[in-house]
Amino acid sequence: MSEEILNALTQLFAIFSKQDGGVNEEEREYVIGFFNQELDQDSIKEYLELFDKLVDYGGEKQEKKRTSMKDSVRVLGLCRKINKTLTQAQKIVVLTKIIELVKVDGTATPTELEILGTVADVFNFEKEEYEIIRQFIFFSDEDNEEDFNSRNIIQVRKDISQQQPDTTYLEANIDGQMIFLKINSVEMYFIKYIGGEELNLNGFIIKRGNSYLFSQGSSIKPPASDALYYSDIVSHFNPDFKASELSFLARDVDFKFPSGDIGLRGINIRESAGKLVGIMGASGSGKTTLLNVLAGLESPSKGSIEINGIDINTNKDSIQGVIGYVSQDDLLIEELTVYENLYYNAKLCFDNLSEEELTKRVDDVLTSLGLAQRKDLKVGSVLDKIISGGQRKRLNIALELIREPGVLFVDEPTSGLSSRDSENVIDLLKELSIKGKLIFVVIHQPSSDIYKMFDKMFIMDTGGYPIYYGNPVEAVIYFKEVTHQVDKIKGQCTLCGNVNPEQVFNIIESHVVDEYGQLTDKRKLTPVQWNGHYLDNFVPEEIKTVTTPPVNLLKVPSRLMQSVIFMMRDVKSKLGNKQYLLINFLEAPLLALILAFIIKYTNLPGGEGYSFYYNENIPVYILMALIVALFMGLSVSAEEIIKDRKILKRESFLNLHRNSYLSSKVVLLLFLSAVQTLTFAVIGNVLLEIQGMTISIWLMLFTISSFANLVGLNLSSAFNSAITVYILIPIVLIPQMILAGLMFDYDRLNDWISSKEKVPILADVMASRWAFEAIAVDMFKSNAYEAPYYKLEKEASKANYVTTYVVPQLTEELNNMDEQLKGESNDNSFESSTLLVRNIIQSQPFKGLLEEIDIDSLLAVDNITAESVVLLKQYVTELERQNFDTYNLMSQRKDKLIAHLESGKDYNLNEYKMKYHNQSLEDLVRKVNATNRSEVHRNKLIQHIDPIYNDNFNTNGPLNYRAHFYAPVKPFMNKDFDTYWFNFFVIWSMTIFLYIALYFEWLLKLINAFGNFRLRKIKK
């Protein structure tokens, strides 16, 4: 309560206390008790001093006669002051406290009653409601019961033979009577006890004659009678409630695990609406398996499960929204508040509701579950709790309850909770069943009070055998009768009414004693024998089979809207995790700073200053930038699906589209990767003075990070543990580093992998290879220094290669062939020389003298003559001359272009070279340090020098894209595509493939198939 309201209430207490001549000790003790409930110790002292001052406590005795008019005016003013601040429910609590204060001394003067009427008028209470509250508080065992008779009253007592016509009576073994009052306007309940026993209300001893709020989840426990729960009282105040029409039938259900083990055997269940059914059993008996099968999460190997005649496995769409499932584990998003968890869940359920209607529905559910006061608190993790375990469990139930499913399955809702929270949760489920829901609950070691709240109990034994199905209390009697125990007619304690569920399992699992009095491993009755007794004694009771379609309030949004909602929820969740945001948005710039700082060194001749041109670490920087992008993409996506897996399991009952969820994840991850890679590229390029390449470098870093996002999502979807995924990240990254093309030459790898002419197939499946090549080629071809001259240098390089390597090789081979034909050589390489010459000539664009000659016929081994060799030598001479002329022509054109550019004001060739060009990158893409600049391999002349200028490809078919590393263009569909953009689209094609694999869960299916194969092999 606010300070203003507490001040006003203190003054109200003072006014009423003075009406009978001054405050007495009973009244003052009552006020102190109220302050103890509402305030801390320091505040209690402050407000008690205020109260004592107002009533002149300790002063002279005041006269009994008071001027009611003056006090009524003051009360009117005080009530108006707080009227607009309090809710109607709070006003009722205030009124009850004031009436109790008046009642403390046992009398109520006309003046006090008049002022009470003033309070009720100002608080806008109906006259009848005020009167019933006043009568309830003042009622004692000396009053005439006939004067206190109402439909809003329930009386609980030992003897209910004499009853008033409008009052509901409940029988309980108590001394005296309990009275429950319902306030219709706000659905509030109060209790008072008139008797001589100690009754426990929510863990506190209640005082005789005092009234207490009986709120949601409350329970009151008499010493020798069953506990009364909130749901019990509510149900008796609503006797006309009618359950919805629903029938649930499980017929002869068996279930086998993929390994071949049997999980369930011969399950038969028949239930209608309005029941709370418990499922119990020892560990390994199949409780959760049964729940999953009944809920449709697993399909039975045999038998069927029907709701209103509809098979839940073959007609899932027909029962959409009818089934709800509450897992044993938390299905909450830790970074969201209580309200936000429920709100976004509701958004996915009710596309037909307006924002106001949706908000009201969420608020109503939170209020009904006692979570309204916690709505703005973050849920927090299980280890870092912000809300209690009981509140977490209630919120999990709320996620299902908000869409009002007809059948609700709950897996061990009391696991890890205190006894008090456990009772509250089961009481909530009991209340839901009273309202017409059919609820199945897996329960483990319940207390007596919880055990007796169930309408039926289904008990299983090890191996999936059903052994009991019926009334919970009668279960104890049944198992005692089967084992012929002495006290077999006693199901519960006759004195305290308690039932010991543990006794049931002690009987079921009792072991044979040997001749030495020691327990053996052999059970007295095996699961099969218990199942035999079950089959002999239990036949599921007949229920009315309902054929009308079950009620479904679910209205799922469109696929696009689902994606939007998923994304909003994910964004809100990530914004709520400040640590996550800080690390992810600082990671990229920090790594860029570290990397750039380390590899930037004073490298100018003479050691004065830094120049991008002389930095030998630029190729390594490109590779490390790609590895960082891969790592960031993997790390941000590694847990995305794992942490949502349980939530997705629950949301599977909504029939939401998987693509909507996945697309929302991908879009958000792509945005995060775009920001990360952009900050990395900008900071790294600025520090290393890489000019004009920021956009192209960022785009490729973003592309490969997006690829990594999809790799991470596939791993996250296929494995159950985030730790496993993080262990796999190095296994993903290291091959990407090794086969990127920088650390090791592709022609110097293992013989199974390496390739002399083209990039190995294994490297082609590495996104890093495509990204590194794209950046390296683009940085060389497209920088401001190289771009004007690249085409001229390429033609000059090709001409130089022909004159320097091709012509000498052809000359050598032709001389060898000539010697072979003349018989001057015993070398048997004539055929290989012929093949080599033919392959070289066919790869050259300069045909010269051979333009109109059939090369295949000319170089056929059987047709080669001395004249043929002479003709080929003439071709070589012409080829050398043409390429020599081309080289000179390209050199002249480059000199003219340089002169033209330098004639401008802003162009200086040397400055541009130092600013935009990097010598180490040029050496890399031109392979100037290659040991073998040209090599004969498999009757082909392989060019190693200047791969960046080499666009002569020997391709087979229009779909063959394969080329050497650092090729300036890539062949595809009989066209040449720029390497940067070709590689860009290759990586995105791989990314799209990974999305398809993610959608269909190919990796998960592969792992499961392998796991099941291994299990079957081991069993054999």
Q: Specify the 3-state DSSP secondary structure of 213.
A: strand
The highest-confidence range among 96-100, 916-920, 1004-1008, by mean pLDDT, is 916-920
Angle subtended at Cα 885 by Cα 884 and Cα 887, rounded to the nearest 5 degrees: 65
Distance CA 657, CA 559 (A): 6
What pLDDT, on the 0 to 100 scale, is given for residue 847?
Answer: 57
What pLDDT, on the 0 to 100 scale, is given for residue 143?
Answer: 62
Contact 842, 822 (CB under 8 A): no
Structure tokens at 90: 């709070």
What pLDDT, on the 0 to 100 scale, is given for residue 104?
Answer: 75
Mean pLDDT (whole number) for 769-790:
95
Mean pLDDT (whole number) for 184-208:
81
Give long-range contacts, CB 8 A cutoff, 24+ apart: 944-951. Answer: 944/747, 945/801, 945/805, 946/797, 946/801, 948/777, 948/780, 948/781, 949/793, 949/794, 949/797, 949/798, 950/797, 950/798, 950/801, 951/794, 951/976
Asked if the model's pLDDT at residue 288 lies above 80, the reply is: yes
Asked if the model's pLDDT at residue 63 lies above 60, the reply is: no
Q: Which DSSP string corresponds to 518-582?
A: -EEEEESS-HHHHHHHHHHH--PPP-PPP-SPPP---BPPPHHHHHHHHHHHHHHHHHH-HHHHH
Contact 358, 347 (CB under 8 A): yes
What pLDDT, on the 0 to 100 scale, is given for residue 1?
Answer: 53
Element (H, E) at 419: helix 419-434
Local confidence band at 65 (pLDDT 50, 70, 90 cut-offs): very low
Name residues whose C-beta falls within 8 Å of residue 801's C-beta, 6 or more positions apart in sequence.
934, 943, 945, 946, 950
Distance CA 272, CA 455 (A): 12
Local confidence band at 597 (pLDDT 50, 70, 90 cut-offs): very high
Asked if the model's pLDDT at residue 657 lies above 80, the reply is: yes
Asked if the model's pLDDT at residue 366 lies above 80, the reply is: yes
Helical axes 979-1000 vs 767-781, angle rounded to 10°:
160
Mean pLDDT (whole number) for 230-241:
68
Contact 380, 386 (CB under 8 A): yes
Contact 642, 720 (CB under 8 A): yes
Burial of 904 (0-12, 13-18, 19+ CB in 10 A): exposed
Asked if the model's pLDDT at residue 702 lies above 90, the reply is: yes
Asked if the model's pLDDT at residue 234 lies above 70, the reply is: yes
Name residues whose C-beta falls within 8 Å of residue 404's C-beta, 6 or more positions apart in sequence.
551, 553
Contact 287, 446 (CB under 8 A): no
Least confident of 515-524, 753-762, 919-928: 515-524
Residue scoring higher pLDDT (85 or 901): 901
What pLDDT, on the 0 to 100 scale, is given for residue 485?
Answer: 72
What pLDDT, on the 0 to 100 scale, is given for residue 859?
Answer: 73
Mean pLDDT (whole number) for 395-417:
87
Distance CA 843, CA 470 (A): 87
- The beta strands (E) that lie in 846-974 are given as 934-937, 940-943, 969-972
Asked if the model's pLDDT at residue 9 lies above 80, the reply is: no
Asked if the model's pLDDT at residue 55 lies above 80, the reply is: no
The highest-confidence range among 115-119, 159-163, 741-745, by mean pLDDT, is 741-745
Residue scoring higher pLDDT (955 or 178): 178
Asked if the model's pLDDT at residue 596 lies above 90, the reply is: yes
Asked if the model's pLDDT at residue 880 lies above 70, the reply is: yes
Structure tokens at 644: 């949502």
Q: What is the mean pLDDT of the chain?
A: 84
Mean pLDDT (whole number) for 258-275:
88
What pLDDT, on the 0 to 100 scale, is given for residue 494?
Answer: 40
Residue scoring higher pLDDT (688 or 234): 688
% helix, strand, coil for the chain, step of 5: 55, 10, 35
What pLDDT, on the 0 to 100 scale, is given for residue 327?
Answer: 85
Q: List alpha helices for 689-766, DSSP H.
A: 694-718, 722-738, 761-764
Distance CA 576, CA 340 (A): 11
Q: Specify the 3-state DSSP secondary structure of 182.
A: strand
Asked if the model's pLDDT at residue 776 lies above 60, the reply is: yes
Asked if the model's pLDDT at residue 256 lies above 80, the reply is: yes
Mean pLDDT (whole number) for 811-817:
88
Distance CA 170, CA 494 (A): 19
Structure tokens at 528: 């099969």
What pLDDT, on the 0 to 100 scale, is given for residue 58?
Answer: 58
Distance CA 345, CA 331 (A): 11
Please give the backbone phi and psi of residue 522, each rounded to the nearest 5 degrees, phi first: -90, 130
Residue scoring higher pLDDT (6 or 509): 509
Least confident of 51-65, 253-267, 287-301, 910-924: 51-65
Asked if the model's pLDDT at residue 150 lies above 70, the reply is: yes
Structure tokens at 6: 């507490």
- Global confidence as pTM: 0.74
